[in-house]
Amino acid sequence: MILLRILRRDLSRSRGTMSLVAAFVALSALLVAGGTGLIVTLNGALDALFAAARVPDVVQMHAGPVDRDAVERWAATQPLVAEVQLTPMIVVDAEAVYLAPDGTSEEGSVMDIGVVRQNASFDFLLDERNAVFAPQPGEIGVPMYYARRDGIAIGDRVRFRAGDHAATFTVAAIVRDAQMNPAIVHSKRFVVHPNDFAALQRLFPETEFLISLRLHDPDRADEAIAAYRAAGMPAVGPIVDRQLFRTLNGLSEGIVAAVVILLSGLLMVIALLCLRFSILASIEEEYREIGVMKAIGMPGRSIRLIYVAKYVAVALAASAVGYAFSRPLSALLAADVTEYLGSAPAGSVGGVLPMAAAAAVCAAVVVSAFLVLRRFRSISAVGALRGTGMRRRDDVRRVRPLHRSRRLGVNTVLGLRDVAQRPALYALLGFIFFFAVVFIVLPLHFLSTMTDPGFVSYMGIGTSDIRMDLRHSESMDHRFAELNAALAGDPEVARYAALVTSGFDLLRENGERESIAIETGDIGVFPLDYLAGAVPTAGNEIALSFLNARDLDVAVGDTVTIAVDGTPRRLTVSGIYQDVTNGGRTAKARLPYSAGAVRWYAFAVDVIPGVSVAEKTREYAQRFAPARVTDLAGYMTQTLGSTIDQLGTVTLVALIVGLGVSMLVTALFLHMLVRKDADRIAVMRRIGASRGSIRRQYRSAVLTVLALGLVLGTLFANTLGERLVSVLWSFMGAARIHFVVDALRAYLLLPLAFAAAVILITRIVTSGIGNPTGEIR
Amino acid sequence: MNTLLESVNLNKTYRVDARNEQQVLFDVNLRVEAGEFVSVMGPSGSGKSTLLYALCGMDRVDSGSVRFAGGTPESLVTLETLPEKELARLRLERMGFVFQEIHLLRNLTVMDNVILSGYLSGRRPRGEVNARGRALLERTGIAELAGRRITQASGGQLQRVGICRALINEPDILFGDEPTGALNSRASEEIMDLLTEVNCDGTTVLLVTHDVRVAARTHRVLLMKDGRLVSEQRPGPVEDDDEGEGEAEIGRREAVVGRREAEIGRREAVVGRREAALMEWLRDYGV
Ligand SMILES: Nc1ncnc2c1ncn2[C@@H]1O[C@H](COP(=O)(O)OP(=O)(O)OP(=O)(O)O)[C@@H](O)[C@H]1O
Ligand SMILES: [Mg+2]
């Protein structure tokens, strides 16, 4: 039967293409099913955790004393509120907490550390088996965050030190805290026995309260919050609801799932493009046969079915394979979820959704095959036999005739003309190049920006030769004075600034009190780029970091109230700057500082010309031993080192993936193009064009497309991409990132790598071009 | 006379599939002198095209040798020893091809199709190639088609384009595989006139055909049967054919030099006579 013969020939001829399409489909199905599986597990685990912990619907954090009876009386009158609970929480300074095996404290940690007793009726802290953890005296439950970070195990010791006194506990459980589990929540709760709690309270008298409500109808949290506020209940601190816990918990793991699913979407698009291209190429090849079949009266439908059958078979097989492998992938991805949130109850949905997702991939492939194959209808028997019809569509576009070309080599010109004549065809390749370039150039640019010395302007400090930091210690004040004197007397120091960061209380409109770190001292000496406004010049002015300004919702010219020595002072915002250090929340003002609240001291130093920065750095580092003395580059690597390392890895992966996908698709594309152009190639071979000559034509075409992709991709990365990175980094504290471009890598080495890869692929693919007697259709 | 092209004991076997082989050429020996106008006739499937492709180096043979002198004795080459790349160069610069299905490039204009080989060979400045291309189009009477795409021309016109393309590099020899096969008799005759002119200008022509009207216009006709050259006829140039016409006829021809109609009439008479002779010859061989 003629149809079967065509099908068999087509399958054998397009084996390479079909296996590529199958590979993309399988990968896409794998990732989409794996991602879906992860989301399902995440959801189930969250549900289980929230149920076991009896998560409150509304939580008010309150710094200060609470009238327990008043709150309970109010709750009793509220029809919305089912249960109320007040949890006292001891606030422990980070530097008083010793977790790590190497015996260093949590000093400098962004986390607010609290110690609580296990709750009585809800908001439980759970152990690894999601059971309510009840510590014995001397035992402690450590938040999952620290267990993961430091590898803390049951039986390890945790120490809290206040002055000469210390309390030591044995880790009895790694606790899951439905409220505060995720790393992005900057509060962590340790849980101890009530007796130990009382003892600790004597060491650390500062206590906060968590006022938690459970509602009859969890969806009405907003109303409950409004009622709570209206009743004037204690409210010095943020109020949060269950939805937020869910979002925060889901976010960190959800991002992985989102990335996986996005990636699968990208692969899917590539698979569909390849599929479409492969179908068009084979229609092109079988064009005459199809015409003949139509001419002898075979219905178009049955011809089409034969082709569809092939793609259905491939799509089914590939997505089944993808789905099969997605189960271990899901398990792998979900390992993290299970550890953080506990395991999800085994349910039927777990298996169905990923399967549905894989089926959707399969369906998308089949549908798009159907859509492309609709072109069969437009093949007319007469057109096919006379060689007119759709084949001609390629050639319609008129471009500059060959005989007008003067300088460029004839093969180069033919390649260029080909791109101009069949833009729609080459666009597929162009898209892939474009995406690949953006994919690589964005992290590359960002990496060079981060490693550039100018990046300090995003770190809230001015540019200086040397930076010295004195972290919190007993002798800190003394050392500061020593250093100050040494610098003042050093003839090799051109100028220096002494900077003191201390904690102040910020008073919000609604009466909330918030701690804010403000840098005081010689803040104007080393200039800093301000997003808006300028450095404070008067005592009643303050400059805020971008994130602080955004949180407080203030602009230059607005005022904020700061408690200075116990009395509130209104300060006018003079400027807003970018800062990605210290959680992005800093400020600068010309305020007097109180020695008791100093968090750290710093110096910025410029040496006079001719003096070696490296030597000066070494000298001061030796003389003032615990002080951290670094040149600016060193300061940056210490502060951003791990981020830079991660970004470096991301860039490398992006480079490999981007180049790999480009090469793969180029190979596929050229392979199909050579088949499609078989008769054109045969004619040229017959009149004496060498294989090299034809190779140069394709190379010129592909390089042209590559050049376009490189230019457009780089332009995109430099403009919109820069904005995109700025948006992402505005969460970290830098809202207006300007790329510092490593021209050598981004504009020379990367294009060369692409060109080399593409030339190599072109060479490999075109070496399959046959001898001149090859049949001309 | 110089031998331009010579084949010695060519054998060629096609492998249809793993078990089936078919020998198509059996010890074919052939010699073409420079300036000759030769045609090969034979029944369908006798191996004419195969022979042609072997002679021009498009296809390799199993055994035997093809020597191509390319005009001067020192430029003699043995095709089977040449690498693919040099064969391509040889075809590009020293040989021209005209096919039954003209095989022009659809993405180029008529003019560009003609000059492409000239550009590819790169032997002459592009300006010169363009000038020659235009002159060829002029001479073949299709100058006005230069800027058109090839879908906008008739079959006969396209075959002229094919001939112009074949001649752009001033080849030593022009190969034709049924160049008139797809044309009606009128167009076919015009193409043959053109090829005769080309031959008169000094280019050797080797045609494969099964049209006796075409063969009758060539100097020498070879007959191929089942992969062997079985016979040969030498009608000689039509111009030299005085058999049965006598001095008077020649005198008359000289008298009317430039009067094309008379010339054509005479030629047709000659061709007609030869056709009849060729038909008889073919019948003798059972073709
Ligand atoms: N590529 C091929 N593979 C296998 N067999 C072939 C191939 N090309 C031609 N043949 C066979 O070789 C024989 C000679 O073919 P060829 O094309 O040389 O004949 P021909 O004399 O040119 O015929 P025609 O006058 O019909 O063009 C035929 O029997 C044909 O079937
Ligand atoms: Mg033939």
The model's pLDDT over A124-162, given as tens digits with 9 standing for 90+, comes to: 999 888 899 999 999 999 998 888 777 888 888 898 888
Nearest CA in chain A to B50: A773
Between A248 and A575, residue with greater pLDDT:
A575
- A14 pLDDT band, cuts 50/70/90, is low
Q: Is the CB of B50 under 6 A from ligand 1?
A: yes
* Rounded distance between C-alpha atoms, residue A617 and residue A634, angstroms: 10
| Residue A402 to residue B116, Cβ atoms within 8 A | yes
Give SS3 for A529: coil
Query: Does residue A467 fall inside a structural domain?
Result: no
Chain-centroid distance of CA A65 in Å reads: 40
State yes or no: pLDDT of A230 exceeds 70.
yes
CA A13 to ligand 1 centroid distance, Å: 23
DSSP code of residue B76: -
State yes or no: pLDDT of A46 exceeds 80.
yes
Q: What is the sign, positive or negative, of the torsion defined by CA atoms of B190, B150, B211, B187? A: negative
Ligand nearest to the CA of B99: 2
Sorted by sequence, the CB contacts under 8 Å of residue A704 that are 6+ apart come out as A415, A416, A419
| Residue B120 to residue A692, Cβ atoms within 8 A | no
* Rounded distance between C-alpha atoms, residue A282 and residue A681, angstroms: 17
In A382-526, beta strands by DSSP E: 466-470, 493-507, 513-521
Query: Does residue A230 fall inside a structural domain?
Result: no
Same domain, A385 and A245: yes
CA B48 to ligand 2 centroid distance, Å: 6
Domain end position, chosen among A218, A249, A270? A218
Q: Which chain B residues are within 8 Å of A679, Cβ to Cβ?
A: 103
Average pLDDT over residues A337-345: 73
pLDDT at B238: 64
Helices (DSSP H) in A342-409: which residue ranges? 349-373, 381-386
Residue B6, beta-bridge partner list: B31, B67
Same domain, A206 and A105: yes
Q: For an interface test with B, which of A687, A769, A771, A776 has the most B Cβ atoms less than 10 Å from its Cβ?
A: A687
The minimal CB distance from A689 to the residues B88, B115, B149 is found for B88
Same domain, A271 and A346: yes
Any CB–CB contact under 8 A between B88 and chain A?
yes
* Rounded distance between C-alpha atoms, residue B240 and residue B236, angstroms: 7
CA B102 to ligand 2 centroid distance, Å: 14
The helix (H) or strand (E) run that includes residue A628 is strand A628-631
Same domain, A552 and A690: no
pLDDT at A508: 80
pLDDT in tens, A510-549: 777 777 888 888 888 888 888 888 889 888 899 998 888 8
Tell me the range of A396-405, A457-466, B158-167 where mean pLDDT is highest. Answer: B158-167
Average pLDDT over residues A716-740: 81
Between B52 and A258, residue with greater pLDDT:
B52
Query: Does residue A33 fall inside a structural domain?
Result: yes
Least confident residue range of A255-269, A580-594, B87-101, B126-140: A255-269
pLDDT at A2: 62
The minimal CB distance from B120 to the residues A686, A693, A776 is found for A693
Q: Is the CB of B151 under 6 A from ligand 1?
A: no
| Residue B59 to residue A692, Cβ atoms within 8 A | no
Query: Does residue A225 fall inside a structural domain?
Result: no
Any CB–CB contact under 8 A between A489 and chain B?
no
Look up the domain containing A156 and give its range: 65-218
CA B52 to ligand 2 centroid distance, Å: 9
pLDDT in tens, A189-221: 999 999 999 999 888 888 889 999 999 988 888
Q: What is the sign, positive or negative, of the torsion defined by CA atoms of A123, A125, A130, A136? A: negative
How open is the CA angle B103-B104-B109, to the nearest 5 degrees?
A: 170
State yes or no: pLDDT of A325 exceeds 60.
yes
pLDDT in tens, A361-388: 889 888 888 887 777 666 666 666 555 4
The helix (H) or strand (E) run that includes residue B176 is strand B173-177
Q: Is the CB of B14 under 6 A from ligand 1?
A: yes
pLDDT at A259: 64
pLDDT at B175: 94
* Rounded distance between C-alpha atoms, residue A487 and residue A509, angstroms: 42
* Number of structural domains chain A divides into: 4
Q: Is A312 exposed, middle or buried (0-12, 13-18, 19+ CB in 10 A)?
A: middle
pLDDT at A392: 46
Sorted by sequence, the CB contacts under 8 Å of residue A462 that are 6+ apart come out as A456, A497, A525, A526, A527, A528, A604
Any CB–CB contact under 8 A between A688 and chain B?
yes
Residue A739, beta-bridge partner list: none
pLDDT at B207: 93
Q: What percent of chain A has pLDDT over 90?
A: 18
Same domain, A54 and A72: no
The minimal CB distance from B111 to the residues A394, A401, A690 is found for A401
pLDDT at A712: 95
Sorted by sequence, the CB contacts under 8 Å of residue A97 that are 6+ apart come out as A105, A106, A113, A158, A159, A160
State yes or no: pLDDT of A253 exceeds 70.
no
pLDDT at A343: 73
Any CB–CB contact under 8 A between A403 and chain B?
yes
Query: The tokens 């505005």 sit on which residue?
Result: A730
Nearest CA in chain A to B106: A395
Between A151 and A760, residue with greater pLDDT:
A760
Nearest atom in ligand 1 to the alpha carbon of residue B53 is: 18
**Weakly modelled stretches of chain B, pLDDT under 70:** 1, 70-74, 236-264
Yes or no: say if A36 and A357 are a contact pair by the CB < 8 Å rule: yes
Q: Is the CB of B9 under 6 A from ligand 1?
A: no
Ligand nearest to the CA of B59: 1
pLDDT at A753: 95
pTM of the model: 0.70
pLDDT at A654: 80
DSSP code of residue A508: P
Sorted by sequence, the CB contacts under 8 Å of residue A722 that are 6+ apart come out as A445, A737, A738, A739
Q: Is the CB of B44 under 6 A from ligand 1?
A: yes
- A85 pLDDT band, cuts 50/70/90, is very high
Average pLDDT over residues A417-425: 86
In A476-597, beta strands by DSSP E: 493-507, 513-521, 530-533, 541-545, 559-564, 567-577, 587-589
What tokens appear for A751 in the block? 């294009």
Domain end position, chosen among A355, A389, A423? A389
CA A680 to ligand 1 centroid distance, Å: 22
* Rounded distance between C-alpha atoms, residue A351 and residue A347, angstroms: 8
* Rounded distance between C-alpha atoms, residue A43 and residue A714, angstroms: 39
Any CB–CB contact under 8 A between B53 and chain A?
yes
Any CB–CB contact under 8 A between A774 and chain B?
no
Yes or no: say if A143 and A111 are a contact pair by the CB < 8 Å rule: no
* Rounded distance between C-alpha atoms, residue A468 and residue A632, angstroms: 10
* Rounded distance between C-alpha atoms, residue A579 and residue A581, angstroms: 6
What is the set of domains in chain B, with CATH numbers? 3-284 (3.40.50.300)
Domain end position, chosen among A592, A625, A658? A625
Any CB–CB contact under 8 A between A262 and chain B?
no
Query: Does residue A726 fall inside a structural domain?
Result: yes
A to B CB pairs, distance under 8 Å: 97
Same domain, A85 and A114: yes
Q: Is the CB of B16 under 6 A from ligand 1?
A: yes
Chain-centroid distance of CA B69 in Å reads: 17
Query: Does residue A241 fall inside a structural domain?
Result: yes
CA B22 to ligand 1 centroid distance, Å: 10
CA B52 to ligand 1 centroid distance, Å: 11
Same domain, A479 and A598: yes
pLDDT in tens, B115-155: 999 998 888 899 999 999 999 999 888 889 888 888 888 88
Q: Is the CB of B22 under 6 A from ligand 1?
A: yes
Same domain, A96 and A167: yes
Q: Is B19 exposed, middle or buried (0-12, 13-18, 19+ CB in 10 A)?
A: exposed
Any CB–CB contact under 8 A between A421 and chain B?
yes
Query: Does residue A186 fall inside a structural domain?
Result: yes
Query: Does residue A405 fall inside a structural domain?
Result: no
| Residue B106 to residue A687, Cβ atoms within 8 A | no
Q: Is the CB of B24 under 6 A from ligand 1?
A: yes
Sorted by sequence, the CB contacts under 8 Å of residue A325 that are 6+ apart come out as A26, A30
Query: The tokens 């710093």 sit on which residue?
Result: A602
Same domain, A204 and A245: no
Among B15, B19, B22, which residue has the most ligand 1 atoms within 8 Å of its CB, making it the best to mutate?
B22
Sorted by sequence, the CB contacts under 8 Å of residue B83 that are 6+ apart come out as none
**Strand ranges of the sheet holding A58-63, from the earlier edge strand across to the other edge:** A97-98, A157-162, A165-175, A139-143, A187-192, A112-117, A81-92, A207-215, A58-63, A239-241
Any CB–CB contact under 8 A between A679 and chain B?
yes
Sorted by sequence, the CB contacts under 8 Å of residue A209 that are 6+ apart come out as A61, A62, A64, A66, A86, A87, A88, A89, A234
* Rounded distance between C-alpha atoms, residue A213 and residue A221, angstroms: 9
pLDDT at B60: 84
* Rounded distance between C-alpha atoms, residue A277 and residue A273, angstroms: 6
Average pLDDT over chain A, rounded to an integer: 82
* Rounded distance between C-alpha atoms, residue A604 and residue A176, angstroms: 43
Same domain, A243 and A134: no
Same domain, A683 and A764: yes
State yes or no: pLDDT of A390 exceeds 50.
no
Phi/psi region, residue A553 (left: phi>0; alpha: psi -120 to 50; beta: rest), is: left
Q: What is the sign, positive or negative, of the torsion defined by CA atoms of B260, B265, B271, B274? A: negative
Same domain, A714 and A735: yes
Shortest Cα distance, chain B CAs vs residue A453, angstroms: 54
